[in-house]
């Protein structure tokens, strides 16, 4: 197999879509921002059911998750074989083995960029994204068996808990991984996005980098969604590009849920700077 896939990996609502749009704008280097509804032209999603159907040679909608899971290595090979060169692939799957099958196929993997975000902000963002109560979303981040569903367009992706997800990717042995915090993408975009380019050996002038960042700015993406809609939106009543702020949990997440998130994820939160040495949450 050709080990040419660069995984863009994250727990949901951690900046993955933003990063994909940035990379697409950087590669295209056009005179205007790319269409946010055309991201898949530049960066595939590993759970796109089309890859599983090509692997199976037949429609797979309606298959049980265990049967979809058996197709995953073949689907990843389809993605890999579609381009001889390096290619980016989005995933929300954690690194794990389900029924003896890796969620991320090592034989086609070159490296990964992993995006991490304060789980307190993830709870708020993911709750709005799904149209769920905050408490249900907190429970999802604690669920060792959590997964996104299989539907008529997407294969399921196994999440596990937020802490398991973060640790699996950032402590993976034998995998070249570059970790980027969402908060740094917001506060120091030139440094954060520039570090991705350096990790991937992507030549980019300062002008090209700044243009791709500007073309991927939150207000640009929000304006496009307002005008055209966005295919990745789940809840039609809530924009996908809703706020993009750091620390919005302080306004929306009750104290009891804040305490519950911290209790469940303290070590990983401290490791990535989301807790002080005294265990107090920070933005």
Nearest to 8 by CA among 74, 90, 82, 85: 90
pLDDT band of residue 152 (cuts 50, 70, 90) is confident
- Residue 173: its pLDDT value, please? 94
Tell me which of 62 and 192 has the higher pLDDT.
192
Q: Does 35 score more than 80 pLDDT? A: yes
What tens digit of pLDDT does each residue of 244-258 get?
Answer: 678 999 999 999 999
What tens digit of pLDDT does each residue of 182-241 get?
Answer: 999 999 999 999 999 999 999 889 999 999 999 988 888 888 877 776 665 555 556 566
Across the chain, which distance is largest between two alpha carbons, in Å? 55
**Mean of per-residue pLDDT scores for the chain:** 92
Task: Specify whether domain 5-271 bears CATH 3.30.710.10.
Answer: no
What tens digit of pLDDT does each residue of 74-111 get?
Answer: 999 999 999 888 899 999 999 999 999 999 999 999 99
- Residue 222: its pLDDT value, please? 80
Please report, for the chain, the start and end positions of each structural domain, with discontinuous segments joined by +.
Answer: 5-271
3-state secondary structure of 29: coil
Q: Does 129 score more than 90 pLDDT? A: no
Opening angle at CA 44, ends 40 and 47, nearest 5: 115
Q: Does 261 score more than 80 pLDDT? A: yes
| pTM strictly above 0.95 | no
Integer Cα distance of 3 and 26 in angstroms: 23
- Residue 54: its pLDDT value, please? 94
Integer Cα distance of 248 and 245 in angstroms: 6
């Amino acid at each position: 197999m050709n080990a040419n896939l660069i995984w863009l990996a994250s727990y949901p609502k951690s900046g993955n879509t933003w990063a994909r749009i940035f990379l697409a704008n950087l590669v295209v280097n056009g005179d205007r921002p790319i269409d946010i509804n055309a991201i898949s032209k530049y960066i595939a999603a590993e759970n796109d059911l089309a890859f599983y159907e090509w692997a199976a040679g037949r429609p797979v909608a309606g298959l049980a998750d265990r049967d979809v899971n058996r197709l995953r290595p073949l689907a990843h090979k389809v993605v890999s074989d579609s381009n001889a060169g390096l290619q980016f692939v989005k995933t929300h799957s954690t690194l794990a083995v389900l029924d003896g099958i890796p969620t991320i196929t090592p034989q086609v993997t070159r490296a990964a960029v992993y995006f991490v975000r304060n789980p307190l902000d993830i709870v708020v963002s993911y709750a709005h994204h799904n149209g769920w109560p905050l408490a249900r979303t907190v429970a999802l981040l604690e669920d060792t068996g959590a997964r996104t569903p299989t539907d008529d367009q997407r294969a399921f992706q196994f999440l596990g808990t937020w802490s398991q997800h973060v640790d699996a990717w950032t402590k993976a042995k034998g995998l070249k991984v570059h970790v980027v915090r969402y908060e740094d993408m917001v506060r120091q975009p030139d440094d954060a996005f520039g570090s991705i380019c350096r990790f991937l050996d992507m030549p980019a002038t300062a002008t090209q980098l700044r243009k791709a960042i500007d073309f991927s700015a939150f207000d640009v993406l929000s304006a496009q969604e307002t005008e055209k809609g966005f295919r990745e939106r789940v809840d039609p009543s809530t924009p996908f590009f809703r706020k993009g702020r750091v620390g919005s949990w302080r306004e929306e997440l009750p104290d009891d849920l804040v305490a519950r998130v911290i209790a469940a994820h303290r070590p990983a939160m401290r490791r990535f700077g989301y807790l002080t040495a005294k265990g107090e949450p920070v933005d």
